[in-house]
Amino acid sequence: MADQNTVESKPEQSLPERPKDAPADEAGAAGAEGDKGPSKSALKKAAKEKEKAEKAAKRKAAEEAQKKQQEGSDVSREDYGDLPMIGSLEYKPSGVKRVTLAQIAEKYNETTPFDEAGGVDVCFRAVVENARNQSAKLSFLVFRETLNTIQAVVAASDTLSRQMVKFAGSINAESIVLVHGLVKKTPEPVKSATISHLEIHVKKIYVVAKADSQLPMQVQDAERPLPLEGEEAKEDESGRPIVTLNTRLNNRVIDLRGKHNRAIFAIKDGVTALFQEFLRGHGFIGIQTPKLLGAPSEGGANVFEVGYFATKAFLAQSPQLYKQMLIASRFERVMEVGPVFRAENSNTARHLTEFTGLDLEMAFEEDYHEVVEVLENLMLYIFNGLRTKYKRETDLVRSIYHVDEFKLPEAGNVPRIPFSEGIQMLRDDGLEIGDYDDLSTPDEKRLGALVLKKYGSDFYVLDQFPLNIRPFYTMPSHTAPAHTEGAKDPNAGYSNSYDFFMRGQEILSGAQRIHDADFLCKRMKEHVTPCDPNSDGLRDYVNAFRYGCPPHAGGGIGLERIVMLWLGLPNVRLASLFPRDPNRVMP
C-alpha cells in the first residue's frame, strides 16, 4: 500500500468512471485482432484465433446490448463492474484513501469501540478468496490480503440493485477487486476468516483484474500439508486428494498464494535480515563475489560449465576461495548472501542445484573458537528473532506440519561437542562406527536425538572433525600428524573444523583455514583428493597467502535448510521460491 495511506477514507470525490462505450475487457479482445502473425507456422493458429475472437465479439455485443437495457433500471450501475485496465486511461486521482485489511483489523479491534451500528467507511484493494450468491438478494465474499481474510456481504436494498448482488457473488475467485464499504462488528465470530470479529458491508465493488474461472489448481490445495518424507498420502484427513508437489511446483504462482507460503518466505527473508543485521553490527562488510569463474576451483565434479564467449567458465559452488582472498585483502570480516550452484545429480528431499548461501569469514586473534562463538551467537540471534518477530508465521506453518517447538539451549549455552564425543555417544547407543568415519544422514539424525535428550537442545555444534573428511584448506588440529614433517599419514587426526546442526541435520559447515601459503601447498598435494596449487583455478588463491594474511575462520550456511528445519518442512524445495533440481529448471 502507498505510503500516504491511512485508515480514514475521505468522502468520495471522483471515482474512475467506467466508460459506457468502451467495454471493460476491450483489451482482452484486442489480443487476437491485433495479431500480425510473426511466423508462418503461426498463421493457421492465428486464423483460428481470429474466428474465435469474432464469435466472442458477436456474443459480447449481444450481451452488451442486454446489459445496457438492464442498466437503465439499475440504481447501482455506477457502483460495480470491471474497471478498464489501469494505465490504459488517463489517470484522474480518485482522492479516496485506501487502507489495508491489516490496518482495518488493527484499528477496529475487539476492544476499541467504534460506530458499530453505522459502520465506518473504508476503501481497499483485495483478492477475492471466494464469492457466492446466497440468494437473489444476498451474496457473500471472502477477501484476502497476505495472511488476513475478512468476510463481506452484498445485500440488495433501495440503493443496491439485485444486478449488483449477482455481479458480486459471481466474481471469479482470485480476481483483484476494489471495494468501498462499511466495517461493522459481526454478531458472532466468522470462522472462515482470520479477521473474525469484523465484516465488510459492500457499497461498491469493481474488478481491477479478473482471474480465469478455471485455474489449474486451487489455493486451498496449496494450503494442505505435503506427505512427510517416506509417507505416501494420496488424500488428506478430510478425504480430499492431495495435489502432488510436482503439480504445485508446476503452478508455483498459484501455489505461492497459500498463506503458509507467505509465511515461509516472510521467515526466509527474516533469516536473511537477521543474519545481515547481526553481522553488520559486528563489523562485517557485505560483499559480492563472482559467480562466473575461469576454472573449477573446489573439485572438478559437481560444477556447472558455462559457455563464455570463445572460451568457457564455471559457476561458483561457494564463495569460499574469494571470501578468503578478501581476508587476505585486509577486509577482516566479510559476509555474503548469494546463490550457490551444485551440479550434483541428487534427487532427495534435501538437495537443490541452486540455493542461497549465507557465507561469512573473519580474521581472529588467538584461537578459531573466537569465530565459533560469533557463529553461535549469530544463530541464537536468528532463532530468537524468529521466535519473537515471526511467531505468527512460524505457528501458522508448524500448525500444518504438526512440528514440535524448536528447543534452544538454556541461557544461550550452545552444546559444543567434540566429534570424538559424538562418536562415543553413538557407540554407547549401539552404533558401530570408526573414530574417523564421516556421519551418514541417519547417523546425524540419531546423534541429534541423543543430543536433545542429553542437552535439551535442538541446536548444537560438532567440533574438531576428522581431517580426512574436510577440504584441503582446512587447518589440521595442533595434534594432527600434518604439522609434523614426514608424517606417515598426513591426513590422520582431527582438524579445526566444525558443523552446526538443527534437529540433527547440518546447517552450517566451517573451519579455520590455512593462512600460510607453503603449508597450504603441502596440504593440497597430500590431501586425500590432491589438487595442484599452480592450476588456473587455484594459483591466485594460493598466492594471496604469500602477501601476508591473518589467521581466519568462517562458515557457510544453507538458507533454505535453516528455514526447512526451523519450520519442520518435509522438503527443502518448499523453502525455495522456484526450486531447481536435476529435473526442474522451470518455471
Q: With binding defined as CB under 8 A, does residue 378 bind a copy of itself?
A: no
Q: With binding defined as CB under 8 A, does residue 175 bind a copy of itself?
A: yes
Give the separation between CA 330 and CA 535, rounded to whole angstroms: 24
- List the interface residues with a copy of itself, window 561-580 (CB under 8 A): 576-578, 580
Q: With binding defined as CB under 8 A, does residue 330 bind a copy of itself?
A: yes
Give the binding range for a copy of itself (CB under 8 A) out of 174-182, 223-231, 409-417, 446-454. 174-182
Strand pairing report for 459-463 and 552-558? unpaired
Out of 248, 506, 513, 576, the active site residue is 506
As measured in angstroms, the least distance from the Cβ of 298 to a copy of itself is: 15
Q: With binding defined as CB under 8 A, does residue 519 bind a copy of itself?
A: yes
- List the interface residues with a copy of itself, window 427-486 (CB under 8 A): 475-476, 478-479, 483, 485-486
Q: With binding defined as CB under 8 A, does residue 292 bind a copy of itself?
A: yes
Catalytic, 282? Answer: no
The residue (of 224 and 257) whose beta carbon lies closer to a copy of itself is 257
Out of 257, 342, 523, 527, the active site residue is 342
Out of 18, 201, 262, 351, the active site residue is 351
- List the interface residues with a copy of itself, window 12-71 (CB under 8 A): 16, 25-36, 38-39, 42
Q: With binding defined as CB under 8 A, does residue 381 bind a copy of itself?
A: no
Are the C-beta atoms of 525 and 468 separated by less than 8 Å?
no
- Classify residue 85 by its DSSP letter: P
Give the separation between CA 246 and CA 227, rounded to whole angstroms: 13
The residue (of 341 and 500) whose beta carbon lies closer to a copy of itself is 341
The residue (of 98 and 503) whose beta carbon lies closer to a copy of itself is 98
Catalytic, 350? Answer: yes
Give the separation between CA 315 and CA 320, rounded to whole angstroms: 13
Query: Exactly one of 61, 65, 136, 253 binds a copy of itself (CB under 8 A); which one?
Result: 253
Q: How far is CA 295 from CA 304, 317, 522, in A?
A: 11, 12, 21
Residues 183-222 as x/- pattern, contact with a copy of itself by CB under 8 A: -------------------------xxxxx--x-------
Residues 486-515 as x/- pattern, contact with a copy of itself by CB under 8 A: xx--x-----x---------------x--x
As measured in angstroms, the least distance from the Cβ of 207 to a copy of itself is: 9
Asked, as a colleague might, if the bond just before 587 is cis with ω within 30 of 0, I would say: yes
For residue 577, give the 3-state DSSP assignment: coil
Query: Exactly one of 133, 172, 505, 571 binds a copy of itself (CB under 8 A); which one?
Result: 172
Q: With binding defined as CB under 8 A, does residue 265 bind a copy of itself?
A: yes
Are the C-beta atoms of 23 and 105 separated by less than 8 Å?
no
Question: How many residues sit close enough to a copy of itself to count as binding (CB under 8 A)?
Answer: 152
Q: With binding defined as CB under 8 A, does residue 551 bind a copy of itself?
A: yes
- List the interface residues with a copy of itself, window 96-155 (CB under 8 A): 98, 125, 127-128, 144, 146
Give the separation between CA 202 and CA 22, rounded to whole angstroms: 26
The residue (of 51 and 405) whose beta carbon lies closer to a copy of itself is 51
Give the binding range for a copy of itself (CB under 8 A) out of 262-270, 414-422, 454-462, 465-473. 262-270
Burial 524-563 (b: 16+ CB within 10 A, else e): beebeeebebeeebbeebbebbeeebebbbbbbbbbbbbb
For residue 120, give the 3-state DSSP assignment: strand
Are the C-beta atoms of 265 and 577 separated by less than 8 Å?
yes
Query: How distant is the alpha carbon of residue 10 from its chain centre?
Result: 37
| Strands (E) located in 54-145 | 80-82, 120-135, 138-145
Q: With binding defined as CB under 8 A, does residue 11 bind a copy of itself?
A: no
Q: How far is CA 536 from CA 40, 289, 322, 466, 540, in A?
A: 49, 18, 14, 29, 8
Out of 344, 354, 370, 373, the active site residue is 344
- List the interface residues with a copy of itself, window 347-376 (CB under 8 A): 353-354, 356, 363-370, 373-374
Give the binding range for a copy of itself (CB under 8 A) out of 59-67, 157-165, 279-287, 410-418. 279-287
Nearest to 201 by CA among 107, 121, 264: 121
Matching residue, cell 433500471: 73
Catalytic, 576? Answer: no
Q: What is the dihedral of CA 322, 328, 329, 335, to 10 degrees?
A: 50
Give the separation between CA 456 and CA 445, rounded to whole angstroms: 15
Helices (H), 34-170: 43-71, 101-107, 162-169
Give the binding range for a copy of itself (CB under 8 A) out of 63-71, 134-142, 232-240, 547-555. 547-555
Catalytic, 135? Answer: no
Out of 509, 526, 535, 580, the active site residue is 509
Catalytic, 457? Answer: no
Q: With binding defined as CB under 8 A, does residue 87 bind a copy of itself?
A: yes
Give the binding range for a copy of itself (CB under 8 A) out of 338-346, 409-417, 422-430, 447-455. 338-346
Q: How far is CA 516 from CA 152, 231, 471, in A?
A: 69, 50, 16
Give the separation between CA 424 and CA 454, rounded to whole angstroms: 13
- Catalytic residue numbers, as ranges: 342, 344, 350-351, 506, 509, 561
